């Protein structure tokens, strides 16, 4: 059966826990494309700010889950939130 040869997971990215010092420079991943899959982001500690080419965005904080559907294509970026960047602290998150 082909089902036994396929995995529903394209990506598992675990970040942290890592303690960041207070700062002023953006930390994160700049604009990049996704197409044809969905990304689930779960933040355990810290804050990540998300923006995408649909005009949507927001801050994903501890206990929050974001589900992004790329469909035919989307551009997005993720950086530490401005407040988290200024204050520093522990960041722990996972993306599936």
pLDDT at 35: 84
Low-confidence ranges of the chain (pLDDT < 70): 1-10
The per-residue pLDDT for 36 is: 82
Question: What pLDDT was estimated at residue 5?
Answer: 63
DSSP string, 30-88: EEEEE-SSEEEEEEEES-EEEEETTS-EEEE-TT-EEEEE-TT-EEEEEEE-HHHHHH-
Superfamily (CATH H level) for 2-95: Jelly Rolls (2.60.120.10)
Does the pTM exceed 0.95? no
Give the model's pLDDT for residue 34: 86
């Amino acid at each position: 059966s082909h089902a036994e040869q396929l995995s529903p997971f394209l990506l598992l990215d675990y970040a942290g826990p890592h303690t960041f010092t207070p700062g002023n420079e953006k930390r994160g991943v700049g604009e990049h494309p996704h197409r044809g899959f969905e990304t689930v982001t779960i933040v355990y500690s810290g804050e990540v700010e998300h923006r995408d080419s649909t005009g949507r965005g927001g801050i994903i904080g501890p206990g929050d889950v974001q589900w992004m559907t790329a469909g035919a294509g989307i551009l997005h970026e993720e950086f530490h939130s401005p407040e988290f960047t200024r204050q520093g602290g522990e960041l722990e998150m996972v993306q599936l």
